[in-house]
Chain A
Amino acid sequence: MARLLQFFSILSLGALFCGVCGAQDLHAPSNVTAGEDVALPTSGSGKATFYLAGPGISQKNDVTLGEEIRLSGQDLRYAGDYTAILCSDTCHTATFYVTAAKPASVIFLVHPSRVPVGQNDAVSGVAFPFDQYRNLITVPENVNFQLSAKDASLWSRSIRTQNGVAWFRANSGKSAGPVQAVASLDDLSAKRAVQQVASDPCNLRITGQRTPNGILVQTEPVHDCAGNVVPDGTIVTFTATGPNGKGTVDAPVKQGIARAKIESPGTSVISVASGVVMGNEIRLGAQP
């Protein structure tokens, strides 16, 4: 009987002791926002080693069981999954998620940077809201898109993000010039510039005259079909076909007009082209 009592006493003491030393535990926090300080309660007594592994962090600290483990907002600034491990005799793990904070910036991608006028669905934009720690915000948000030229609004729409992204397509305007594209979320905004440029030359027309130095030929002001003058530097090819063969000059447009001098004695036919667009032909007689 006494031996039995002794045995059970030792067993109880042992269980109590082991219960004390095996009782460390770690409780995972819920609803952690990026950048927020967090305290992890622990239970048990004695010393333990605490590990934290997550996006941007791999930490190891000695801690005292029974006290809170404080995690700074700086350690938890990246959204994602974190694994907290507490090791004494054995290791206990708690996993928790950090979610993105409130919007602090909008990443805005707009294409193209140069667009011909009068094209359908020619301009597109994509916006991603991010928090101050560059975490993508996946909670739906309303993003306002606007295209404006010379303080006049060309197009605007409010679009709700899905999976953290909002996008749009819009037609290009009728007039050449810079267009501002803005994506705004509450009081945050991102601006981009799109240059609307003239389309292909339209109604390409030339005039020419024969001089002692050769044929001087020039275009009328080169416009696209919407009336926009084509940009300087656009290449216009003049071709003169005469008895001595063919002569060609690739001349750049300057202030809307391209000019060239071609040597072609005898009766010559002059034609013009720019890219794949052809213009009129003129015939000039031989040098008198």
Chain B
Amino acid sequence: MTRQVLKKGIKRGIHFLAAVCFLFIATAFSSYAADGTVQVQLDVKKAGPRAVESLTERGVLRDYQFAWTNMARAFEFSSPDLLEGAFSGDAKQELRQTVSSQQRSHITRRYVDQSHQVEAVFYAPEGDVMELHDTAQYQLQILDGDKTVHDEHVVVHYIVLMTPAADRWVIRELQAVPQF
């Protein structure tokens, strides 16, 4: 009798552990997928008056993708800390206000399957500011708690100002416009 109870207990324990492991793996894959859906293509041919160096181009591409990934997470989870390190100045202030507004109203938003076609249109002579034009496409979902109140595939044009910080490029201005 005791042995049978023990066996049952062990079986249940194994099932529980398997479920937990599956949950972790599933979460990991979904995080990976979330990172993987932010696609960015950068074209620097038209940038001037200063030519964009190849290292700078790589850095801007990497940091722009990082910024949008973090911004999407900040909006999805209403967490302002995720905006640190990728934004500065007015952009950071505005995004933090968006997040705190979300926290008050319990509204969240998701930017899913992002694709950004980015063109550098201005690079300052001293290399201390770059203007980008981003034609962004994504699935915009707005949720009230668990209820989706808006789900639409959108194409939005952004004017972006990026400046070099200590070890990366950060977004200082992020402004949507009707057209470039």
- A and B touching (C-beta < 8 Å)? yes
Is there an interface contact between B90 and A134, defined as CB atoms closer than 8 Å? yes
Docked complex Cα distance between A62 and B157 (Å): 31
Interface residues of B in 124-180 (CB under 8 A from A): 124-126, 128-129, 131, 133, 140, 142, 144, 149-150, 152, 156, 159, 161, 173, 175-178, 180
Say whether, besides A56-B97, A85-B142, A79 and B175 are in contact (CB < 8 Å): yes
| A135 in the interface (beta carbon within 8 A) | yes
Docked complex Cα distance between A79 and B122 (Å): 21
| B11 in the interface (beta carbon within 8 A) | no
Chain A nearest CB from B75 CB (Å) reads 9
Docked complex Cα distance between A81 and B173 (Å): 14
Contacts of A169 in B (CB 8 A): 49, 125
Chain B nearest CB from A5 CB (Å) reads 41
Is there an interface contact between B159 and A138, defined as CB atoms closer than 8 Å? yes
Is there an interface contact between A109 and B177, defined as CB atoms closer than 8 Å? no
Say whether, besides A56-B97, A91-B150, A111 and B176 are in contact (CB < 8 Å): no
Which has the most chain A C-beta neighbours within 10 Å: B90, B133, B150, B175?
B175
Is there an interface contact between A124 and B124, defined as CB atoms closer than 8 Å? yes
Docked complex Cα distance between A56 and B156 (Å): 17
| A55 in the interface (beta carbon within 8 A) | yes
Docked complex Cα distance between A78 and B102 (Å): 16
Contacts of B72 in A (CB 8 A): none
Q: Which of A160-168, A185-193, A205-213, A279-287 lines the interface with chain B?
A: A160-168
Say whether, besides A58-B109, A85-B142, A124 and B125 are in contact (CB < 8 Å): yes
| A128 in the interface (beta carbon within 8 A) | yes
Docked complex Cα distance between A200 and B56 (Å): 31
Docked complex Cα distance between A76 and B83 (Å): 22
| A237 in the interface (beta carbon within 8 A) | no
Shortest Cβ distance from A163 into B: residue: B121
Q: Which of A58, A60, A128 sits near B161, CB closer than 8 Å?
A: A128
| B98 in the interface (beta carbon within 8 A) | yes
Chain B nearest CB from A9 CB (Å) reads 36
Docked complex Cα distance between A81 and B158 (Å): 10
Total number of residue pairs linking A and B with CB closer than 8 Å? 102
Docked complex Cα distance between A28 and B100 (Å): 25
| A72 in the interface (beta carbon within 8 A) | no
Docked complex Cα distance between A15 and B173 (Å): 50
Is there an interface contact between A51 and B142, defined as CB atoms closer than 8 Å? yes
Interface string of A48-84 (1 = CB under 8 A from B): 0101010111111000000000000000001111010
Is there an interface contact between B124 and A109, defined as CB atoms closer than 8 Å? yes
Docked complex Cα distance between A49 and B106 (Å): 14
Contacts of B125 in A (CB 8 A): 111, 124, 126, 167, 169
Contacts of A51 in B (CB 8 A): 107, 142, 144, 149-150
| A136 in the interface (beta carbon within 8 A) | yes
Chain A nearest CB from B153 CB (Å) reads 12
Chain B nearest CB from A154 CB (Å) reads 18
Chain A nearest CB from B142 CB (Å) reads 5
Q: Which of A58, A85, A93, A126 sits near B124, CB closer than 8 Å?
A: A126
Is there an interface contact between B156 and A163, defined as CB atoms closer than 8 Å? no
Say whether, besides A51-B107, A60-B105, A91-B150, A163 and B159 are in contact (CB < 8 Å): yes
Contacts of A163 in B (CB 8 A): 121-122, 131, 133, 159, 180
Docked complex Cα distance between A100 and B178 (Å): 12
Contacts of A128 in B (CB 8 A): 161
Docked complex Cα distance between A55 and B180 (Å): 19
Which residues of chain B have a CB within 8 Å of any CB of chain A?
49, 90, 94, 97-98, 101-102, 105-107, 109, 121-122, 124-126, 128-129, 131, 133, 140, 142, 144, 149-150, 152, 156, 159, 161, 173, 175-178, 180
Can you pick out 12 interface pairs between chain A and chain B where the beta carbons lie within 8 Å of each other? A51-B107, A51-B142, A53-B150, A57-B97, A83-B150, A97-B177, A97-B178, A124-B124, A128-B161, A134-B90, A163-B122, A163-B131
Beyond known contacts A58-B101, A135-B175: 9 more, CB 8 A cutoff? A51-B144, A53-B109, A58-B102, A58-B109, A87-B149, A91-B150, A111-B128, A163-B121, A169-B49
